[in-house]
Amino acid sequence: MAASCLVKILTIFTLLAAIFVGLDRNRERFFIFDQNVLQEIAQKNIELYKNDTNLMIQNVAYDLEKKYPGHISVKQDWVFNNAGGAMGTMWILHASITEYVIIFGTPVGTEGHTGRYLCDDYFIILEGEQWAANPGDLKRTVYKPGEMHLLARGQAQHYKIPEHAWALEYARGWIPTMLHFGLSDMIFSTVDFISLFHTFRMYGGCLIRELIQGKI
């Protein structure tokens, strides 16, 4: 009986693994956003609104909605985010199973671990700076407004936002695999269940809207 149960479990696991590998090899077909287009939109608004952070951020959202109609939330809805020891605040512009686009930043600075994901993460600086370093780096890499920092799938870095920064962040891959990193600090460290609730509310609402449109 035990052997039969083990065989069934292994069969199910093998089937699920095969499905995941097949989907992962074809993940590009599920993406609708282009990181280079996002960077162009960011650079345009940096130039137009570099003296007004709120206008810059809001018009980035408006321009994204024009480029990707029906897939961007233009109403500002902010929530704290604690992950990898760093703290900031985010506004979810888009969230689905395979992509998210957010505005992320902090007016007071922060530092921590980037996380290691089954996704590529593009961090486009709108205002301020982000510093980053790989294991063994003796000097930091500095990213300034208009520049894009790529955290490639499977990689991790130490990062810091000195004083303040705001960024347009885009992740593409299997977004649910990022959630344990993005939520564990709120559960086990800050014990901020209000922010946890609002994170699920915002992500869940976007996810349902995208699934209704046939976007995974």
SS (H, E, C) 72-135: CCCCCCEEEEEECCEEEEEEEEEECCCEEEEEEEECCCEEEECCCCCEEEEEEEEEECEEEECC
Residue 184 corresponds to which amino acid?
S
Q: Are 199 and 79 in contact (CB under 8 A)?
A: yes
- Please report, rounded to a whole number, the percentage of residues in the chain having pLDDT higher than 90: 82
- Residue 80's nearest CA partner among 212, 208, 182, 216 is 182
pLDDT digits (tens, 9 = 90+) for 115-161: 999 999 999 999 999 999 999 999 999 999 999 999 999 999 999 99
Report the C-alpha gap between 104 and 91 in whole angstroms: 7
Task: Output the six-digit token pair for 86.
Answer: 């760093």
Instruction: Indicate the pLDDT class of residue 20, thresholds 50, 70 and 90.
Output: low
pLDDT digits (tens, 9 = 90+) for 50-66: 899 999 999 999 999 99
- 32-212: CATH architecture: Sandwich (2.60)
Query: What's residue 13's pLDDT?
Result: 56
- More confident position, 180 or 86: 86
* Model confidence, pTM: 0.89
Instruction: Indicate the pLDDT class of residue 28, thresholds 50, 70 and 90.
Output: confident
| SS3 state at 136 | coil
Residue 146 corresponds to which amino acid?
G
Query: What's residue 3's pLDDT?
Result: 63
pLDDT digits (tens, 9 = 90+) for 127-136: 999 999 999 9
Report the C-alpha gap between 143 and 162 in whole angstroms: 11
Query: What's residue 30's pLDDT?
Result: 82
Domain positions in the chain are: 1-30, 32-212
pLDDT digits (tens, 9 = 90+) for 163-201: 999 999 999 999 999 988 988 999 999 999 999 999 999
